[in-house]
Structure 1
């Protein structure tokens, strides 16, 4: 007589199990639920906009002025749509009326607004 436990003496090979993960639950959800879950996941990945005080803004302004005078590369830390983006290049123009900074790297030129800038680092 063989018992059920006799078959479990062999090692269980977990590599043969092919679980579909969360895909198997999507078929049982309404499209509205799926959309809300995706929106929630996207929102949870976003980082809040850092609050800069007047000292931080003054430091950013001074670093931009120094970088323009010395014509050196800078790294701009920018906050856009809940994520931080780093732009590296040389500052070519600052337009105080439009509140924009024009920069260029070896591939392209681009424009940043003052409100996007969170931090500036000078490379020397």
Structure 2
């Protein structure tokens, strides 16, 4: 006996509209809510970044873009207060990161 868990039996009843709605529902469920940092978290973030910039240490920054998080590791080349960004020198090159995209900073030992 084939153990298909009913996929063969009910697969014929799906139409493209159902699959589109199911994929939209799954993508909405995977989205994380927008999280604003508290004042204490912002102070910790600022302290970690300024320590890494002063000492030239390696730092891992977590960047938030919409509902996607990305980790970047490198040294802080320059902090540009006028443009509200910092320049991170990574293995693949320099990246300009706006302050508003920063989520978390962790000094590497």
TM-score of the two chains, using structure 1 as the length reference? 0.73
Query: Do the aligned partners of residues 54 and 28 (structure 1) sit closer, same or farther apart at CA in structure 2, a change above 3 Å counting?
Result: same
Counterparts of residues 1-124 of structure 1 (less than 5 Å): 17=2, 19=4, 25=10, 27-124=12-109
For structure 1, which segment, 68-77 or 101-110, has the greater mean C-alpha deviation from structure 2 after superposition?
A: 101-110
Query: Do the aligned partners of residues 93 and 26 (structure 1) sit closer, same or farther apart at CA in structure 2, a change above 3 Å counting?
Result: farther
For structure 1, which segment, 36-45 or 24-33, has the greater mean C-alpha deviation from structure 2 after superposition?
A: 24-33
State which structure, 1 or 2, has the greater radius of gyration over its C-alpha atoms: 1
Q: Give the ranges of 4+ consecutive aligned residues of structure 1 lying more than 4 Å apart after TM superposition.
A: 20-27
Query: Do the aligned partners of residues 30 and 94 (structure 1) sit closer, same or farther apart at CA in structure 2, a change above 3 Å counting?
Result: same
TM-score of the two chains, using structure 2 as the length reference? 0.81
Structure 1 unaligned residues grouped into runs of 5+? 1-13
The CA distance in 1 between the partners of 2:108 and 2:38, in whole Å, is 24
- CA shift at 1:58, angstroms? 1.4
- The question of whether the paired residues in 2 share the 8 Å contact of 1:49 and 1:79 is answered with no
Structure 2 unaligned residues grouped into runs of 5+? none
Cα deviation 1:37-67 (Å, max 9, x = unaligned): 1111112112223221111111111111110
- CA shift at 1:22, angstroms? 5.4
Q: SS of 2:92's equivalent?
A: coil
